[in-house]
A and B are shown apart, each in its own frame.
Chain A
């Protein structure tokens, strides 16, 4: 009988995704785990493949995690977040304005134009819009939204949307824009936003990002082995360090699901998915 192979889904948001998962595949093979990956062009189809028996698990965005959880719940099934990166924990999104502008509080965005990222970006669209809604400001009613939509279906993994929104802010095309905290620093360092040219108007509460989501009825022994091998990867090891660097982490952590409440609420309030995981957003293309 052939050795059972663990099948994982990943979204090809950039060419490096092939390098990353070929590297992991070789690493797992060296440690006796038969592993293969299937690439998807978008998270929606990947999550759906978790429920038709194609995938044992998926490297999911936070939004994909919530959709998988909603579909599972609606069908009386169960999915688990088994592992995540250290860099997936406790992120914040920012609403940024030009340094010299008069805006001093989020409430003053009323009547203004906010640049956001892709329609499905948790960090650059859904969570910031939800944050403003919690302050009583509703997109389209109290302020205008200009979307910088890059690669729909990638759930904001491609930072092009955030970068385009930041450039539009500097160009005076929008009054404020949204981005994740690390990108505000990165854009300052790489010159996209010259240091001191912008000011942070608002910051959201902390939230978590990606996780490895198991599919219903995933083979428990293979998942356990997969998770153990991930957690054993060490930054000190020159063989695996390049993979960790490409994937953007120092260490893998056991998955936690405590950091998705903000996005869960945003998904409901912005009408992105229904309680059963159906896609509700009419403008969403992927």
Chain B
């Protein structure tokens, strides 16, 4: 394309480039530089360029006339349609007026739809009624940083674990490992599905949270895989699943909003699970279980960090929300009061797993280790509740009301 200076009107020469070979882009670009009503001279030498230009101008509403100069060369004069910019009249930026692209708005408009934060959205775009579209209902100040950490920390179950490590366990200990894996799988199913149910309701304006939760779901998918592979590793099927355990997890699906669900699942449940996974990493009788416990614990710690950061944000803008957190723990405790809590199969399996053999002294050692685990879990819950502003005595009381199923 050669810009022409001979005329006072802007002129482009598309030479032998046909409109269906890219010249249309050049013409559109040149016209976009003009105000509606402005004219552009177009010269061309490709076969049919003039007839294609006429057809295109008709479709776009641009006026067109052809002039022939002294040498007999035709020139098209395209007058940009008055309606050319009509599509963008009343368009809105997908951001609050005082928020840049980097900063999430306090409330996201349904009319912004799926547009990138800061994009210009055509008026009349469809509304997406995302239930979670107010920042305080979902935001965490560190969501972007946690997402970057999560993206960098993704691991491949196939290569990250030495599945063919040599080890031989007594039958009762292998059975205990399988029982613990069975328990972990159902808990990880809840940890995948509970955030996933909220994920689909989050306005994508809050992309950092969206991205982080998506990776969190991917983390849990891997955990389900590795726990399943370990359960089946020595040819046994998964073991027992109790009504009490599932009742505890069921209450997570009944949480009234994203913040409560995050509080119960991430802050209290996954927080306790980090202790459990660290316990498995330390006490598991075989290298495969120790490896998967270490990798899963690292992921879960990130989930807890997001949960804490979200609730800290929510409480910073809505301090009285703390009462809702207290109520949530108490209501869940009441709901689970008639259930058995942690089933004795899982408890015994943890003891045996830590014991490594079915002898008096080993079982005593394993039992002590599980007792220590339970104290560490309660202490961790208490510390996190204190960070969320609960007085020490209240934090202690609420920490003790947490489900005996750990998650």
Contacts and interface: CB of A to CB of B under 8 A. Distances in A.
A222 interface: no
B197 to A, nearest CB: 33
A185 B89 contact: no
Interface in B116-148: 122-124
Nearest to A182: B55
Interface string A247-286: 0101100000000000000000000000000000000000
A72 interface: no
B90 interface: yes
A181 to B, nearest CB: 4
Contacts of A91: 58
Interface string A125-136: 000000000000
B89 A181 contact: no
B91 to A, nearest CB: 9
A195 B47 CA distance: 11
B44 to A, nearest CB: 13
B59 interface: yes
Given A196-B18, A234-B86, A241-B86, A185 B52 contact: yes
Q: Give the interface residue-count category, chain A.
A: 20 to 34
A250 B52 contact: no
Contacts of A199: 47-48
Contacts of B58: 86-87, 89-91, 182
A236 B124 contact: no
B88 to A, nearest CB: 9
B332 to A, nearest CB: 47
B56 interface: yes
Contact of B83 (A180, A195, A248, A250): A250
Contacts of A181: 51-52, 54-55
B53 to A, nearest CB: 9
Interface in A35-68: none
Interface in B10-61: 18-21, 24, 47-48, 51-52, 54-56, 58-61
A243 to B, nearest CB: 11
Interface residues on B, range: 20 to 34
B81 interface: yes
Contacts, number: 73
Contact of A94 (B51, B56, B90, B123): B51
Interface SS of B by simple majority: helix
B61 A86 contact: yes
A188 interface: yes
B31 to A, nearest CB: 14
Contact of B86 (A189, A235, A239): A235
Nearest to B60: A250
A199 B58 CA distance: 21
Given A86-B61, A241-B87, A184 B124 contact: no
A159 to B, nearest CB: 13
A200 interface: yes
B201 to A, nearest CB: 26
Interface string B70-109: 0000000000010100110110000000000000000000
A62 to B, nearest CB: 15
Contacts of A180: 55
Contacts of A185: 19-20, 52, 55-56
Given A181-B54, A200-B51, A241-B86, A250 B18 contact: no
B81 A250 contact: yes
A221 to B, nearest CB: 29
B48 A184 contact: yes
Contacts of B20: 185, 188-189, 195
B56 to A, nearest CB: 6
A25 to B, nearest CB: 19
B18 A236 contact: no
B48 A241 contact: no
A203 interface: yes
B61 A238 contact: no
Contacts of B51: 92, 94, 181, 184, 200, 203
A219 interface: no
B61 A236 contact: no
A111 interface: no
Contacts of A251: 61, 83
A188 B18 contact: yes
A196 B18 CA distance: 8
Contact of A200 (B48, B83, B86, B123): B48
Contacts of A89: 58
A91 B51 CA distance: 10
A42 B20 CA distance: 33
Contacts of B83: 234-236, 250-251
Contacts of A203: 51
Interface string A165-200: 000000000000000111011001100000110011
Nearest to A91: B58
Interface in A105-155: none
User: Which of A92, A195, A234 has the largest count of B CB atoms less than 10 A from its CB?
Assistant: A195
A97 B123 CA distance: 44
Contacts of A182: 55-56, 58-59
13 contacts: A86-B61, A90-B58, A92-B55, A181-B55, A184-B51, A185-B20, A188-B18, A203-B51, A234-B86, A235-B61, A241-B87, A241-B124, A250-B61
Q: Which 5 A-B pairs have the closest CB atoms?
A: A238-B124, A188-B20, A250-B61, A236-B86, A238-B123
